[in-house]
Amino acid sequence: MDTIEFWFDFGSNYSYLSMMRIRGLAAAAGVRVVPRPFLLGPIFKAQGWETSPFVLQEAKGRYVWRDMERQCAKYGLRWRRPSVFPRNGLLAARIALQGEGTAWEFAFCEQVMLANFADDRDIGDEAVIGAILAGLGVDGGAVIEAARSEACKSALRARSAAAQARGIFGAPTFFAGDEMFWGNDRLEDALREQALRHRQDERQGREGNQDAGPAGVPEVERPTHHRHGLGNQQARVALAGIQAERSAPGPVGRITPLDLIDVVLLHLRRPGRTISLARLAENIHLRDFSH
């Protein structure tokens, strides 16, 4: 399964929207999500800002809070404007780093986001974070103690530096390969891009196997199930001839749309050979083939 990277800050309101949506959307798209918690503060400071632009620019801030009401209503998410914004997500980010790859990784991040943006609780408070961990069956005391270690602090600094090196300037940010998508409204685009990349990789691998011919590399295995019987006999005969030319004898099996594409492409590639697509369409009934 292919992956996208999800870079977020626990103090980011638009990261809240993405955090609460991404698991379901990614599962539907067949894409795995790699969470990347980091801190926006150093990136803002590098741009000369001491805090969020939603605070520095009053008009933008008014718009954002109204937009959050609309977006949460659209997605069916709970929302309460934080009494403090942006909240300090340092402790939560350090703990999220320790949770990477664990069974509680995503649940912890979601609960911290809900505490901040749905319940207006201080996510910088060890008691709040400890209660979230306890609710997930995690030893909060041990995890919080580890979050105070120099190793954990260094890991978070390195993560935030990596964000800057990748060109990240806000949150949430998603990466499909090296392609960057910024903002909650680009989450679906990032998932679509990664799913498309995966399909293209599969197609290229399939074509590479087909071109291998008699060199001994096996062809792509075609499905043998078929809900409409054996399929069109003329297509089967054509494929049998092609497989014989490839020195790949054996039963042809049931025919799929990919097999039909093979018939057309392989005939067209052969020197001096042409094929009438109209004639092919007359002889092969596509209704006989399942997709």
Q: Give tens-digit pLDDT for 195-210.
A: 998 777 777 776 766 6
In a domain, 211, yes or no: no
In a domain, 217, yes or no: no
The answer on 252 and 168 residing in a single domain is: no
Single residue among 156, 177, 195 that ends a domain in this structure: 195
Mean pLDDT over all residues of the chain?
82
Tell me the one-letter amino acid at 47.
Q
Q: Are 144 and 91 in contact (CB under 8 A)?
A: yes
| pLDDT exceeds cutoff 80 at 90 | yes
The answer on 124 and 230 residing in a single domain is: no
The answer on 172 and 61 residing in a single domain is: yes
pLDDT in tens, 15-40: 999 999 999 999 999 999 999 999 99
Single residue among 178, 195, 212 that ends a domain in this structure: 195
The answer on 253 and 142 residing in a single domain is: no
Task: For residue 89, give the nearest of 133, 22, 37 by alpha carbon.
Answer: 37
The answer on 182 and 85 residing in a single domain is: yes
Mean pLDDT for 145-166 is 97
More confident residue, 257 or 147: 147
How many domains are contained in the chain? Answer: 2
More confident residue, 47 or 247: 47
The answer on 43 and 157 residing in a single domain is: yes
CATH number at residue 176: 3.40.30.10
The answer on 22 and 148 residing in a single domain is: yes
The answer on 185 and 271 residing in a single domain is: no
Q: Are 181 and 190 in contact (CB under 8 A)?
A: yes
Single residue among 157, 177, 195 that ends a domain in this structure: 195
Q: Which residues of 33-67 are buried (b: 16+ CB within 10 A; e: fewer)?
A: bebbbbbbbebbeeeeeeebebeeeeeeeeebeee
Residue 274: give the domain boundaries.
Answer: 222-288
In a domain, 145, yes or no: yes
| pLDDT exceeds cutoff 50 at 114 | yes
The answer on 244 and 107 residing in a single domain is: no
pLDDT value for 201: 72
The answer on 148 and 56 residing in a single domain is: yes
pLDDT value for 184: 98
pLDDT in tens, 52-65: 999 999 999 999 99
The answer on 231 and 90 residing in a single domain is: no
In a domain, 214, yes or no: no
Segment among 147-161, 189-203, 209-223, 235-249 with least mean pLDDT:
235-249
pTM over 0.75: no
More confident residue, 266 or 75: 75
pLDDT value for 269: 45
pLDDT value for 242: 46
In a domain, 216, yes or no: no
Identify the H or E element spanning 53.
helix 53-56
| pLDDT exceeds cutoff 70 at 271 | no
| pLDDT exceeds cutoff 80 at 175 | yes
Tell me the one-letter amino acid at 187.
L
pLDDT value for 84: 98
In a domain, 215, yes or no: no
The answer on 282 and 140 residing in a single domain is: no
In a domain, 190, yes or no: yes
Mean pLDDT for 272-287 is 45
Q: What 8-state DSSP symbol labels residue 199?
A: H
More confident residue, 184 or 271: 184
- The dihedral through the CA atoms of 68, 73, 75, 77 has a sign that is positive
pLDDT value for 108: 98
In a domain, 201, yes or no: no
Q: How many CA atoms, within 13 angstroms, populate the side-chain half-sphere of residue 232?
A: 20
pLDDT value for 212: 57
